[in-house]
Amino acid sequence: MKMLKKITVLPGDGIGPEVIAQALKVLKAISQKYGHHWEIKEALIGACAIDITGDPFPDASLTACQEADAILMGAIGDPKYDNDPSAKVRPEQGLLRMRKSLGLYANIRPVKIYASLLHLSVFKPEILKDVDFVIYRELTGGIYFGEKVKEATFSSDLCLYHRYEVERITHLAFQQAMERRKKLTLVDKANVLETSRLWRSVVAEISRQYPEVALDFLYIDNAAMQVILNPSRFDVILCDNLFGDILSDEASVLSGSMGLLPSASKGEKSALYEPIHGSYPQAAGKDIANPLATILSVEMMMRDFDYIAEADDIISAVDQCISDGFLTEDLKPTIPVRCSQVGDKVVALILSIK
């Protein structure tokens, strides 16, 4: 169905505006081909927001995000804040506030390996064979949001989880497993942590509602090892906030470049789509950044809009770009191309698909 969708765009810092520009080209191409209409509104987040307003996530940005059907973000971070441990206001504070304010409790990171880029990975090709999994990370609870204490002789961070926080992301993860290979792995530390014991008991209880899905459990230390030694064993991985943060960054190394991996963060009313890479300030303004992860984040958005043909077009175009070797310098092609050229190529391929 052709309809109007409101999309709030948060270009952010560093290479964020450049990769977002290519994603906007793709949205325009989808609109042209399928007759959809996007109402695009740009807002501030990160270091650029601090520079202009003094706030890493101003109220105007929150309002724009709350009014949107989807949010598309580039990246945040700037050395003048990242390298200053005494900075009172930091870009990451805006990110955490956005997640909490919008209730973005589920972070979803697919990990896919491209056959033509196997040589980029530090792993042997046989290790990467058939690797295709997705990580569901709880995003608004746990140790990152618990009460914090800092004294002269000690510090503490409270790791707190309520049952409902575990339940809601667990259902999402099982629903995803039902659409994939019907296997879910909970990663925890239930031999030591009470919060992990809560996760394990709740997930085991909910699993009875999804009898077709095979459920297994791994401690985080073993899971980190298995992502390296046997990544093809995974289908859907479910984690709390801290373990998911660590494990998803580790898993991103499998593909050979963070520039290939998209993500989505979802709540009851809002959904955010962004590449997993950082702001890469050294490359800002040079037109050399890899926009494919951001473009693939748009693909996740289209699929969540139930625009399946549109999403499939984006996947096909990106796959063709990669197989043709039409790639930015991070992917070490014979002849590197520009960030903007990749965007133009993906658009041309989308429009050529019958």
CA 260 remoteness from chain centre: 11
Annotated catalytic residue within 249, 269, 286, 324? 249
Inform me whether the pLDDT recorded for 258 exceeds 90. Answer: no
Q: Kindly list the domain boundaries of the chain, sorted by start residue.
A: 1-105+262-354, 122-255
Give the mean model confidence (pLDDT) for residues 338-352: 98
Catalytic (active site) residue 245: yes
- Asked if the domains 1-105+262-354 and 122-255 are classified in one and the same CATH topology, the answer is yes
Using an 8 Å Cβ cutoff, are 62 and 94 in contact?
no
What is the structure's pLDDT at 87? Answer: 83
CATH of 122-255, one of 3.20.20.80, 3.40.718.10, 3.40.50.150, 2.70.150.10: 3.40.718.10
Annotated catalytic residue within 59, 84, 221, 324? 221
Please, what is the end-to-end C-alpha distance for the chain in angstroms? 18
Q: Note if the pTM is more than 0.85.
A: yes
The strand order across the sheet containing 132-138 reads 37-42, 4-12, 70-75, 271-275, 262-266, 106-112, 132-138, 236-239, 183-188, 214-219
Q: What Cα–Cα distance (Å) separates residue 226 from each residue in 44, 232, 233, 348? A: 39, 9, 8, 40
> Tokens at residue 93, please?
């504070």
288-334 pLDDT, tens digit per residue, is 999 999 999 999 999 999 999 999 999 999 999 999 999 999 999 99
Pairing of strands 132-138, 271-275: unpaired
Catalytic (active site) residue 189: yes
Catalytic (active site) residue 34: no
CATH topology of domain 1-105+262-354: Isopropylmalate Dehydrogenase (3.40.718)
What is the structure's pLDDT at 256? Answer: 83
Give the mean model confidence (pLDDT) for residues 137-145: 94
What is the structure's pLDDT at 1? Answer: 59
- Which residues, including other chains, have CB under 8 Å from residue 85's CB and lie 6 or more apart? none
Ramachandran quadrant class, 209 (left: phi over 0; alpha: psi -120 to 50; beta: rest)? alpha
Annotated catalytic residue within 34, 41, 144, 219? 144
Report the mean per-residue pLDDT for the chain. Answer: 95
- Which residues, including other chains, have CB under 8 Å from residue 96's CB and lie 6 or more apart? 144, 145
> Tokens at residue 282, please?
């050294």
What is the structure's pLDDT at 250? Answer: 93
Annotated catalytic residue within 51, 245, 304, 312? 245
Give the mean model confidence (pLDDT) for residues 273-282: 94
Annotated catalytic residue within 25, 189, 266, 345? 189
Angstrom distance (rounded) from CA 331 to CA 121: 10
